[in-house]
Amino acid sequence: MDATRFDRESFRPSVRLAAPQASVAVFALCADTEAEAERLARCRDLFIVRLYTGRFGPFPSVDEAEAYEYSPPERAIVAEARRRTVAGTPEQVKVRLEALAGEYGVDELVNVTITHDFKARLCSYELLAEAFGLG
């Protein structure tokens, strides 16, 4: 990921904000295994391809995403989108998110997890919360 570090030195206090604060949003997905997280992330791959090519619609299922045959330009879209994706086990995701926060110099990460299956999404958030000691 290309990180542009937050410039705290340029901050000027105001009535609304006395000290600099910054956050970055990231797509992060946790599962019990790296393979399962990667499998679930394929849904977002297909969703992004459809979004970027004007075919917006419902979030695809894992089966639909796994069966989809990507064209070369679509594979390029997936590769670029994957640069902005953090998927893996809770420990893997935690390490990558902490590194990302350090690269950007931010105080907060805002996590977005979208999956076709609500239970998988809830599990991802629970695993992530446990990894950061928030459970």
The model's pTM is 0.82
Gap between the Cα atoms of 45 and 82, Å rounded: 8
Q: Confirm whether 4 is domain-assigned.
A: no
Q: How far apart are CA 134 and CA 84, in angstroms?
A: 24
Q: What is the pLDDT of residues 3-29, one digit of tens each?
A: 555 667 788 889 998 888 888 899 999
Q: Is residue 6 part of a domain?
A: no
Per-chain mean pLDDT for the chain: 91
Q: Is 127 part of any domain?
A: yes
Sheet holding 85-88, edge to edge: 85-88, 23-30, 108-112
Look at residue 12 and tell me if it is in a domain: no
Instruction: List, in order, residues 6 or more apart from 51 with CB less than 8 Å away.
Output: none
Range of the domain at 118: 19-131
Is residue 60 within 8 A of residue 43, CB to CB? The reply is yes
Q: Determine, yes or no, domain membership for 33.
A: yes
Give pLDDT, residue 12.
86
- What confidence score (pLDDT) does residue 120 get? 96
What domain count does the chain have? 1
CA distance 102 to 6: 10
User: pLDDT tens for residues 51-101?
Assistant: 999 998 899 999 999 999 999 999 999 999 998 899 999 999 999 999 999
